[in-house]
Amino acid sequence: MKKPSRRPRDRDVADRNIADRNIADRNIADRNIADKQPAQAPRYWTGAHTTHKLRYHLVLVPKYRKRVLKGAVAARLEGLIRQACAVNGWEPEELAIQPDHAHLLLQAQPRFSVAQIMRTLKGGTARVLRQEFPELEEFLWGDSFWADGYFAATVGVVEGSVVTAYIQNQRQ
């Protein structure tokens, strides 16, 4: 009995070479397209089997909507949010902190739900802010710093510039 040959047929090898060239051509074309995009444009992220651009407009509100996000507290909050984003691999595109709320435009991977993102942001920042600013106890009694809820909306390509402009105008 004759064993089947393990050597690939010449046609299979040729098909693979053509496929490899097509993939290489597509990668070059993708790089050229990416090079022509403005530097500000949010990019598509890729994973092992995914290509995605998940952007969220998030709003965090202190308990009782107290106007405590001012001065050193606001500066520290901005640093903490940016640090949490860096640690988790999120990209904060815009961040504006008002005395009674904070707006954040964020791009994240699909493995993170909005609830996980908000739990990380609110939990981590509340703990540090309460430790570093004990005078906040006068305004925010109890264990929580943030209000129970939050605002979250997905942001598409078209609305992205509108939301970015809105968040930037919050600073004025």
Instruction: Indicate whether this model's pTM tops 0.75.
Output: no
Domain ranges for the chain:
52-170
The pLDDT value recorded for residue 143 is 78
More confident site: 36 or 81: 81
The pLDDT value recorded for residue 30 is 47
Pairing of strands 151-154, 91-98: unpaired
The pLDDT value recorded for residue 125 is 95
Class of domain 52-170 as given by CATH: alpha beta
The pLDDT value recorded for residue 162 is 87
User: Which tens digit of pLDDT belongs to each residue from 45-58?
Assistant: 888 888 999 999 99
For the chain, what percent of residues have pLDDT higher than 70?
75
Mean pLDDT of the chain: 82
- Residues listed for the chain: 172
When pLDDT is averaged across residues 67-92 and rounded to a whole number, the result is: 96
The pLDDT value recorded for residue 33 is 39
More confident site: 163 or 21: 163
Could you tell me the CA-to-CA distances from 107 to 98, 118, 163 in Å, in that order?
21, 13, 13
Task: Indicate if the pLDDT at residue 72 is higher than 60.
Answer: yes
